[in-house]
Structure 1
C-alpha cells in the first residue's frame, strides 16, 4: 500500500471512528453529517466521497463496530492473562458497552442483527465460534469449566442464546440485562470462583 492509499484508509477509519463515537452517544437520527465531519476533522464532501450517503455511512459504521468488537474479543481470548481474568474482562467489556451505547443505535444494530444472512451472523460463524471453542477448551484444561460438558452442548447453548436475542421482542428489552446475562452464562458453566 502506497502513502496515498494509506492516508486514504486512515481518513476513512477516522470518519468511521467519529461516526461510531457520535452514534454511540447520541444515536443515529440526532447526528448530522456535518457533526461527523467536524469530529473527524474532514469536510462533508470528503464523507460523501467515501460513503455516498448517510445511510451508507451508518451501514459501514455498523460493520466497523462489529469488526472492532470481534477484534477486541479475539485479543482477550488469545491473551496470556489467566482464564478467570479473561471472563471478568469479557463481562466488564459487555457491561461498559451496554452502559455507553445509545438505545437508538443499539436498536439499529439489533435490527440489522436479526435480518437473514446478516454480517454479525457471518462473523459469529467465522470468528466467534472458534474463539468460544478455544476459550472453552482452555477453561476445561485449567479446570474452570466442567470437562464433562461437551463442546457441542456449550456451543448449542450459545447458539440458543444468540437465536433468542435476535428476536425483536427480546432485543428491545435486553440491554439493561447484559451484565447479568453474561454473568449467568459464564458463571453458570464455570461455577463462580472465590477471589
Structure 2
C-alpha cells in the first residue's frame, strides 16, 4: 500500500472511530455529519466523499464496530493470562460497553442481528465461533470447564442464546441485563460459587 492509500485508509478509520464514539454516546439520530467531521478533524465533504450518505456511514460504522469487537475478543482469547482472568476481561468489557452504549445504537445493532444473513452473524460464524471453540478447549484443559461437557453442547448453548437474541423486540430488554447475562453464561459453565 502506497503512502496515499495509507493516508486515505487512516482518514477513513478516523471518521469511523469518531462516528462510532459519537453514536455510542448520543445515538444515531442526535449526531450530525458536521459533529462527526469536527470529531474526526475532517470536512463534511470528505465524509460524503468516503461514504456518500449518513445511512452508508451508519452501515460502515456498524461493520467497523463488529470487526473491532471481534478483534478485542480474539486478543483476549490468545492472551497468555490465566483462563479465569480471560473470563473476567470478557465480562468487564461487556459491562463497560453496556454502560457506555447509547440505547438507540444498541437497538440498531440488535435489529441488524435479527435479520437473516446479517453481518454480525456472518462474522460470528467466520471469526468468533472458531475462537469460542479454542477458548472453551483451553478452559477444559486447564480444569475450569467441566471436561464432560461436549463442545457440541457448549456451542449449541451459544447458538441457542444467539437465536433468542434475534427475536423481535428482545433487544429492548437485553441492555440493562448485559452484565448479569454474561455472568450467568460464563460462571454457569465454570461453576463459580459465591462465598
Task: Tell me the TM-score normalized by structure 1.
Answer: 0.98
- Give the CA RMSD over aligned residues: 1.1
| Aligned-residue offset at 1:74 | 0.3
| Aligned-residue offset at 1:62 | 0.2
Gaps of 5+ in 1: none
SS of the residue corresponding to residue 146 of structure 2 reads coil
SS of the residue corresponding to residue 164 of structure 1 reads helix
Task: Tell me the TM-score normalized by structure 2.
Answer: 0.98
| Aligned-residue offset at 1:128 | 1.1
- How many residues align? The count is 195
SS of the residue corresponding to residue 192 of structure 1 reads coil
Which residue in 1 is equivalent to 2:40? Answer: 40
d(CA) in 2 for partners of 1:140 and 1:29?
A: 45
SS of the residue corresponding to residue 173 of structure 2 reads coil
Relative to 1, partners in 2 of residues 1:79 and 1:194: Cα closer, same or farther, differing over 3 Å?
farther
| Aligned-residue offset at 1:194 | 7.6
Which residue in 1 is equivalent to 2:158? Answer: 158
d(CA) in 2 for partners of 1:10 and 1:87?
A: 32
Which residue in 1 is equivalent to 2:91? Answer: 91
Gaps of 5+ in 2: none
| Aligned-residue offset at 1:75 | 0.1
| Aligned-residue offset at 1:172 | 1.3
| Aligned-residue offset at 1:171 | 1.3
| Superimposed CA distance per residue, residues 36-76 of structure 1 (whole angstroms, 9 cap, x where no aligned partner) | 00000000000000000000000000000000000000000
